[in-house]
Amino acid sequence: MKKDRRFETQVIHTGYSSEQHHGSLAPPIYSTSTFVFPDAETGEQRFAGDQDGYIYSRLGNPTVKMLEERIAVLEGGEKGLAFGSGMAAVSAVLLGLTRSQDHILCSQGVYGCTFGLLRMMKDKFDIDHDLIDMSDPEVIETHIRPNTQVIFIETPINPTMTLVDLEMVSQVAARHNIMVVVDNTFCTPYIQRPLSLGCHIVIHSATKYIGGHGDVVAGLVVSDSDTIDMLASTTQKDIGGVMSPFDAWLLLRGLKTLPVRMDRHCDNAIYIANALKAHPSVEHVFYPGNDESSDYYIAQKQMTRPGGVISFTINGGKEDAQKLINTLQLLKIAVSLGDAETLIQHPATMTHAVVPEESRTKMGITDNLIRISVGLESKEDIWEDLEQALEVIKYV
Ligand SMILES: *Cc1c(COP(=O)(O)O)cnc(C)c1O
């Protein structure tokens, strides 16, 4: 395909040409574990890397490859790599980039299992980490050690929706030759493209917006060719958290509607955030589209739109939060995000229950905090459901 096609075209066409597949409009699912060599010499050449071609599906699969090519172009990187889950992607990247006695600098507040992985890497492999507030470049500088290999960032940070200035952190990292890795799950490349801001590796839990339909668990990584080749031949191949061809097919399908879905997620979330802000039972709304927040300028700088996830605190405590959630009729009580259905959850007792209470409070994850992944339903219906539930806790 012509290189200069626009994003909305690339999500549909990049990585697939029907002419090479009997004219099939939809990509075929190559559901095979292994590939037949025409002769012994071909097998030898493929294993030696002297000839392109497939060998065995943990090392590469045509359907998975289509997806890898597509996500690489969408993120503006050279190559992509697909994994069986977001955490398989995160662990392959962090274990691939570090060795014993190295150090990782991480944004304060990351996905719970990423936090668990960092702790495990410290205990088992002597790979240390610090979780720090990344709003001040001087604070970042003071935490960089001679053995710091990676800066790992989530932005917006889940569930408080705090933002990290990717360009600023990249500039600090560049002075010390440190790789910047960004978990771009909440934004997708439609909203934020970290590689264009100087970051080196982008990771997705494709389970969320990339898939978009709540029917697959998957992960993706995009970077330059050398980095992806290194990961493919080490932590992906030998740890083996690969994606199945069917999941790749679901994601190729999901990606086709990414811009359309993201626009609707954002439109609905802006509407719900404003309605929540005006409600007397709501204490505070955390949303990158909130122009009263101190990091709104970062959203303006690096995000094209504010995204579909909102957190808010209510006037009340844990029981009121649970009562509100239990009173909902349309909204689904579930973790995860990025699906067509609006999902609501209580971080302190669900996604972040493993974080000790003291750290939770420090991170702003209080008992009256609720997170919504705003879905694609009618925004009026979503609000009506929330409003009737907010009425129930109004006079506490
Ligand atoms: C869900 C999620 C992950 C983990 O992805 P899985 O696909 O569940 O393994 C990592 N990072 C973020 C920000 C997530 O939301």
Atom of ligand 1 nearest to the CA of 185: 13
- Mutation test residue for ligand 1: of 83, 94, 111, the one with most atoms within 8 Å of CB: 111
- Dist CA 184 CA 179 (whole Å): 15
Q: Given this model, what pLDDT does residue 368 score?
A: 97
Atom of ligand 1 nearest to the CA of 88: 9
Please state the rounded mean pLDDT for residues 371-389. 98
Could you report the per-residue pLDDT of 57-89, keeping only the tens digit for each? Answer: 999 999 999 999 999 999 999 999 999 999 999
Distance 281 CA to ligand 1 centre (A): 31
Check residue 356 and give its pLDDT: 84
The pLDDT tens digits of the residues spanning 329-350 come to 999 999 999 999 999 999 999 9
182 alpha carbon to ligand 1 midpoint, in Å?
12
Residues with CB under 6 A from ligand 1: 85-87, 111, 113, 154, 158, 183, 185, 205, 207-208, 217, 219
CA of 41 to the centre of ligand 1 (A): 42
- Chain-centroid distance of CA 367 in Å reads 25
- The pick from 106, 208, 250, 371 for probing ligand 1's pocket by mutation, whose C-beta has the most ligand atoms within 8 angstroms, reads 208
Confidence of residue 396 (pLDDT cuts 50, 70, 90): low
- What Rg, from alpha-carbon coordinates, does the chain have? 22
Annotate the chain with three-state secondary structure.
CCCCCCHHHHHHHCCCCHHHHCCCCCCCCCCCCECCCCCHHHHHHHHHCCCCCCCECCCCCHHHHHHHHHHHHHHCCCEEEEECCHHHHHHHHHHHHCCCCCEEEEECCCCHHHHHHHHHHHHHHCCEEEEECCCCHHHHHHHCCCCEEEEEEECCECCCCECCCHHHHHHHHHHCCCEEEEECCCCCCCCCCHHHHCCCEEEEECCCCCCCCCCCCCEEEEECHHHHHHHHHHHHHHHCCECCHHHHHHHHHHHHCHHHHHHHHHHHHHHHHHHHHCCCCEEEEECCCCCCCCCHHHHHHHCCCCCCEEEEEECCCHHHHHHHHHHCCCCEECCCCCCCCCEEECCCCCCCCCCCHHHHHHCCCCCCEEEEECCCCCHHHHHHHHHHHHHHCCCC
CA 369 to centroid of ligand 1, rounded, Å:
20
310 has which bridge partners? 372
Q: Could you tell me the strand order of the sheet in which 148-154 lies?
A: 79-83, 219-223, 201-205, 179-183, 148-154, 103-107, 128-132
Above 70 in pLDDT, residue 2? no
Taking the centre of ligand 1 as the mean of its atom positions, its distance from the CA of residue 93, in whole angstroms, is 14
Mean pLDDT score of the chain, rounded to an integer? 96
Name the residue among 261, 296, 183, 253 with its Cα closest to residue 29: 253
Domains of the chain in start order, with CATH, are 7-30+61-255 (3.40.640.10), 258-392 (3.90.1150.10)
pTM over 0.85: yes
Closest protein CA for atom 2 of ligand 1: 205
Q: How confident is the model at residue 240 (pLDDT cuts 50, 70, 90)?
A: very high
pLDDT at 395 over 80: no
Cβ count within 10 A of residue 71: 29
Give, using CA atoms, the residue closest to atom 9 of ligand 1: 86
pLDDT digits (tens, 9 = 90+) for 91-126: 999 999 999 999 999 998 889 899 999 999 999 999
Nearest ligand 1 atom, CA 186:
13
pLDDT value of position 394 = 77
Positive or negative, the Cα torsion across 12, 13, 16, 17?
Answer: positive
Taking the alpha carbons of 353, 354, 359, 362 in that order, is the dihedral positive or negative? negative
In the reported structure, the alpha carbon of residue 258 is separated from the centroid of ligand 1 by a whole-number distance in angstroms of: 18
Ligand 1, atom 5, lies closest to the CA of 86
Mutate to test the pocket of ligand 1, among 205, 209, 244 (most ligand atoms within 8 A of CB): 205
CA distances (Å), origin 223, targets 228, 232, 313: 6, 12, 37
Cβ(328)–Cβ(347) under 8 Å?
no
Pocket test for ligand 1, best of 106, 182, 202, 207 (most atoms within 8 A of CB): 207
Nearest CA to ligand 1 atom 1: 205
Q: How many whole angstroms from 184 Cα to the centroid of ligand 1?
A: 10
Question: What's the pLDDT at 354?
Answer: 84
Q: What is the pLDDT of residues 154-189, one digit of tens each?
A: 999 999 999 999 999 999 999 999 999 999 999 999
